[in-house]
């Protein structure tokens, strides 16, 4: 018999055997009572069908299963969980434990580095890894503590010391900022469920990152070093340390960087802008927050004509964005955003006046009703509060990190601000289309996303369903160009400044002005044809902004 015939017979025999087995199982299942399975949850009722122990089918059980409230589902984002009592954990470790442990680790590593002599940076320094064990009882190198035993890993300590030196951060200042007081945990986590800690002096942020992001940052360090040496003035994040807290086989990776949005400045509006329109609108949950972060479509609705900058500031900002985008594109980085906080100076003045009037009215009534001794205490408290406020302002104006503010990041010098002035330092002066005085605090964030396979697949899938040019995930070159165009043409606009010219050019400018006047006369509409001026694009002039201000237009910026 041929081998092919043997294979055919074997196939027929297997099929017949399976058929016989199925028929036996079917007949026996009809005669026997339903049996409970080994877990005691399901009962076999028929081949391939199960019912619950209470007699309900699986489908009925699923339909009647109580659903958790939406608020409960929202209490877990990524590795971040919020318990019923409000306690916050990350990878099931209390965030307060993580905070205290990393402060111990940073204190040790900065202190040990201070004793090592400075030298030129070598390629091997970017890949160095130092691990320190912290037993609760302490050791010859580490202090005793009340946390569980943990290990603290420091990535590229020599390289990050170089970066801190480049930005003028002294070791003592860095240690004081990080370790002198408990860190503040920000209550508004990112979409990925990251944990954010803020130092007490408002200088630094420590953020948890994923394993791949930590790896990518380490690979990025040589190129990051080259870029900072060529151009320390940048809107890119300023990284000051990469660490890993290890406890009970859990790894929590953290990066220390500059704080873009100082907490002592009220941000009346906050935006995360990518230059994309697909699903780029803050959802209902985000809008309900006390300080929501809006997105691209929200910005286009709220500022349809953009934000207006002085000509020199506009040029410096756009050049910085273009230069930073070239760097990101060269590293095949994408999906980054421009984080922008807007402080409205005019609104802040109004809020301050209203608050002062309210406090004055309440204080006067309390003061009049209080005994003489209590009145003295009220006066003393007011003086202490004023002294503390002035001291806080003085500290905040003396930034530890060089080139850390938005204004310093885009140009060589910024005008100093008088101590008695209430204008927060470091913001980029701008105007709304209504002429309101604004200060912008900006920086490029989320740069640890490379164009890996997952992003390529994500873009391919989204572009099939939607317009490929509108989705946020795109190839790095296109993403960079779209990002630049959106910032230069939609978000930021240039205030037309008055003409400044030398006497030698007056004649030619005068002729140009005469030609423009003739063209304007020729283009004036005939009576009854006012529709010619409808739907004209918004074209502000310097006078438009001047008429909305009190006092000298530039008095706020040129102190």
Domain ranges for the chain? 30-64, 80-259, 264-354+400-500+539-559
**CA-to-CA distance for 321 and 487, rounded, in angstroms?**
8
What is the number of other CB atoms lying within 10 angstroms of the CB of residue 164? Answer: 23
Least confident of 229-233, 410-414, 505-509, 539-543: 505-509
Per-residue pLDDT, 398 = 53
Which two three-digit tokens encode residue 85?
Answer: 């009592």
Instruction: Give the CA radius of gyration of the chain.
Output: 32
pLDDT tens digits, 445-502: 999 876 554 555 554 555 555 455 555 456 889 999 999 999 999 999 998 765 444 4
Same fold, 80-259 and 264-354+400-500+539-559: no
Fold of 80-259: Phosphatidylinositol Phosphate Kinase II Beta (3.30.800)
**CA-to-CA distance for 308 and 305, rounded, in angstroms?**
9
For 306-334, what is the mean pLDDT?
Answer: 93
Fold of 264-354+400-500+539-559: 3.30.810
pLDDT tens digits, 374-383: 555 555 655 5
Per-residue pLDDT, 521 = 55
Least confident of 209-218, 407-416, 511-520: 511-520
**CA-to-CA distance for 154 and 421, rounded, in angstroms?**
42
Q: What is the pTM of this model?
A: 0.69
pLDDT range class, residue 296, cuts 50, 70, 90: very high
Per-residue pLDDT, 497 = 62
Per-residue pLDDT, 354 = 84
User: Is residue 106's pLDDT more than 80?
Assistant: yes
HEC sequence for 181-245: CCCEECCCCCCCCCCEEECCCCCEEEEEECHHHHHHHHHHHHHHHHHHHHCCCCCCCCEEEEEEE
Share of the chain above pLDDT 90, in %: 39
């Amino acid at each position: 018999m041929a081998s092919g015939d043997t294979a055919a017979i074997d196939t027929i025999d297997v099929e017949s055997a399976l058929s016989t087995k199925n028929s036996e199982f079917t007949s026996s299942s009809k005669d026997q009572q339903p049996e409970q399975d080994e877990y005691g949850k399901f009962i076999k009722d028929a081949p391939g069908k199960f019912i619950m122990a209470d007699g309900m089918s699986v489908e009925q059980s699923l339909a009647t299963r109580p659903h958790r409230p939406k608020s409960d589902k929202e209490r877990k984002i990524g590795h971040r969980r919020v318990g019923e009592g409000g306690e916050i954990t990350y990878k099931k470790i209390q965030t307060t434990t993580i905070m205290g442990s990393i402060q111990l680790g940073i204190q040790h590593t900065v202190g040990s580095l201070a004793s090592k002599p400075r030298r030129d940076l070598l390629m091997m320094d970017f890949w160095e890894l130092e691990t320190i064990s912290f037993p609760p009882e302490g050791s010859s190198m580490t202090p005793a503590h009340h946390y569980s035993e943990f290990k603290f890993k420091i990535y590229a300590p020599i390289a990050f010391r170089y970066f801190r030196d480049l930005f003028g951060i002294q070791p003592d200042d860095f240690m004081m900022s990080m370790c002198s007081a408990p860190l503040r945990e920000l209550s508004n986590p990112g979409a990925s469920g990251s944990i954010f800690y803020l130092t007490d002096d408002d200088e630094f942020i420590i953020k948890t990152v994923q394993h791949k992001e930590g790896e990518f940052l380490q690979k990025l360090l040589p190129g990051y070093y080259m870029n900072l040496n060529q151009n320390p003035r940048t809107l890119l994040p300023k990284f000051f340390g990469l660490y890993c807290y290890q406890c009970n086989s859990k790894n929590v990776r953290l990066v220390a960087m500059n704080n873009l949005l100082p907490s002592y400045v009220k941000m009346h509006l906050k935006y995360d802008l990518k230059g994309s329109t697909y699903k780029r609108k803050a959802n209902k949950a985000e809008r309900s927050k006390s300080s929501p972060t809006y997105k691209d479509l929200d910005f286009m609705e709220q500022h349809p004509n953009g934000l207006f900058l002085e000509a020199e500031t506009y040029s410096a900002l756009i050049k910085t964005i273009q230069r930073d985008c070239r760097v990101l594109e060269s590293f095949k980085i994408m999906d980054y955003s421009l984080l922008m906080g807007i402080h409205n100076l005019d609104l802040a003045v109004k809020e301050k006046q209203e608050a002062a009037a309210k406090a004055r009215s309440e204080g006067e009534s309390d003061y009049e009703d209080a005994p003489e001794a209590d009145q003295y205490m009220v006066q003393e408290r007011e003086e202490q509060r004023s002294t503390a406020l002035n001291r806080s302002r003085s500290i905040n104006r003396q930034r530890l990190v060089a080139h850390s503010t938005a204004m310093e990041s885009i140009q060589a010098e910024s005008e100093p601000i008088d101590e008695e002035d209430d204008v927060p330092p470091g913001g980029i002066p701008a105007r709304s289309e209504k002429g309101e005085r604004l200060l912008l605090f900006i920086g490029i964030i989320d740069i640890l996303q490379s164009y890996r396979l997952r992003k390529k697949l994500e873009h391919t899938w989204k572009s099939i369903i939607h317009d490929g040019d509108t989705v946020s995930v795109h190839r790095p070159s296109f993403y960079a160009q779209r990002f630049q165009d959106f910032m230069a043409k939609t978000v930021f606009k240039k205030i037309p400044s008055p003409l400044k010219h030398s006497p030698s050019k007056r004649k030619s400018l005068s002729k140009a002005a005469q030609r423009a006047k003739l063209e304007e006369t020729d283009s004036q509409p005939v009576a009854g044809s006012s529709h010619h001026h409808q739907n004209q694009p918004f074209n502000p002039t310097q006078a438009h902004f001047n008429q909305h201000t009190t006092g000298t237009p530039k008095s706020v910026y040129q102190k």
